[in-house]
């Protein structure tokens, strides 16, 4: 199956990056190369783009799409949390912009045997990096009832998390859960019938929770976002597109902390903690898709863009 993914908030994020023709840019979630293509179009022969993705299908698709820019593009198979190390291997110590388009791609959702979708019956996989040994099947069949409850409640924000976890544990005592279809039936049985008809597919939140846990999505974001801000040159920007409230909250809080890191008590007349701002938040409120985009790409509905600009503090400051 061909790698297809419609880049969301494309125009807004590219504009927000304020691309310098001779600059160095990193697409930390390369996908099919949609954002990267638009960045490359704005670069001169002296510019450079580094694309990072952990999905082999994405790497292959992006390499084809960006072929006309091969002299200024470097593609790396890795997780964006390894960005600093990967850039160092390329002799790069700082960049002019970073973009992250988080979540799961249309290709991953639409390729049934990847196990991300609750629309078709497929093996319980959900790995974004297929070199990883652990799969969704291991979580569903190996986690304790309390661990399942925790991730479905916290990462899926599912009100019936306790009941779903209990049903999974009871069913797997009789038979190992192997496929998405089997898991969906368990989830449906755990949710009252009148509640199944509202709020979208009844398995949506549980599938999201298992995917986030398996791929350590929130942990990776939390642990690497500030480091990516540190990679930026003066005036450089990082654009992050999120798809659910948990991701968005992490981005919002880290951006705020980088803008105002002072930990002194409010009653102190002057700051004595010595922590200096790393820049400022460009987007006071997240940028969301326009109606025109939603009309052609309904999956963009929950997307939000937040932008942070680096400002280096001088000694005098």
pLDDT in tens, 9-33: 999 999 999 999 999 999 999 998 9
Percent share of the chain, pLDDT over 70: 97
Query: Residue 137: inside a domain, yes or no?
Result: no
How much is the pLDDT for 112?
84
Structural domain harbouring 74: 10-106+217-310
Q: What is the pLDDT of residues 34-55, one digit of tens each?
A: 999 999 999 999 999 999 999 9
pLDDT in tens, 54-82: 999 999 999 999 999 999 999 999 999 99
Confirm whether 253 is domain-assigned: yes
Number of domains in the chain: 1
The answer on pLDDT for 315 being more than 60 is no
Domain assignment present for 269: yes
Q: What's the rounded Cα separation, in Å, for the pair 303 and 125?
A: 24
Is 2 inside any structural domain? no
250 domain residue, yes or no: yes
* Average pLDDT score, the chain: 93
Residue 303 inside a domain? The answer is yes
4 within some domain: no
pLDDT (tens digit per residue) in 231-248: 999 999 999 999 999 999
CATH number for the domain that contains residue 34: 3.40.50.150
Answer whether residue 205 is part of any domain: no
Query: Dihedral angle at the C-alpha atoms of 66, 72, 78, 81, nearest 10 degrees?
Result: -120
């Amino acid at each position: 199956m061909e790698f297809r993914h419609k880049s969301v908030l494309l125009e807004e994020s590219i504009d927000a990056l304020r691309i310098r023709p001779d600059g160095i840019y990193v697409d930390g979630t390369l996908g099919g190369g949609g954002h990267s293509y638009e960045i490359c179009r704005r670069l001169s022969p002296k510019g450079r783009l580094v694309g990072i993705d952990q999905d082999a299908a994405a790497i292959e698709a992006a390499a084809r799409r960006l072929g006309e820019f091969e002299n200024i593009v470097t593609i790396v198979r890795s997780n964006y949390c390894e960005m600093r190390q990967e850039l160092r291997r390329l002799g790069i110590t700082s960049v002019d912009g970073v973009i992250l388009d988080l979540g799961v791609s249309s290709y991953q959702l639409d390729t049934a045997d990847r196990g991300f979708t609750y629309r078709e019956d497929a093996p319980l996989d959900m790995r974004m990096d297929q070199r990883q040994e652990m799969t969704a099947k291991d979580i569903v069949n190996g986690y304790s009832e309390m661990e399942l409850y925790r991730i479905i409640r916290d990462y899926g924000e599912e009100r019936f998390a306790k009941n779903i976890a209990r049903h999974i544990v009871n069913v797997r005592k009789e038979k190992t859960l192997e496929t998405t279809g089997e898991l969906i039936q368990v989830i449906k049985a755990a949710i009252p019938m009148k509640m199944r008809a509202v709020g979208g597919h009844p398995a949506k939140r549980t599938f999201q929770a298992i995917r986030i846990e398996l791929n350590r999505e929130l942990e990776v974001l939390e642990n690497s976002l500030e480091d990516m801000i540190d990679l930026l040159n003066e005036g450089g920007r990082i654009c992050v597109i999120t798809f659910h409230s948990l991701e968005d909250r992490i981005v919002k809080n880290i951006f705020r902390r980088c803008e105002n890191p002072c930990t002194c008590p409010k009653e102190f007349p002057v700051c004595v903690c010595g922590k200096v701002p790393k820049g400022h938040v460009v987007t006071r409120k997240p940028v969301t898709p326009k109606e025109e985009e939603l009309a052609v790409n309904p999956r963009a509905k929950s997307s939000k863009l937040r932008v942070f600009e680096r400002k280096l503090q001088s000694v005098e400051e």
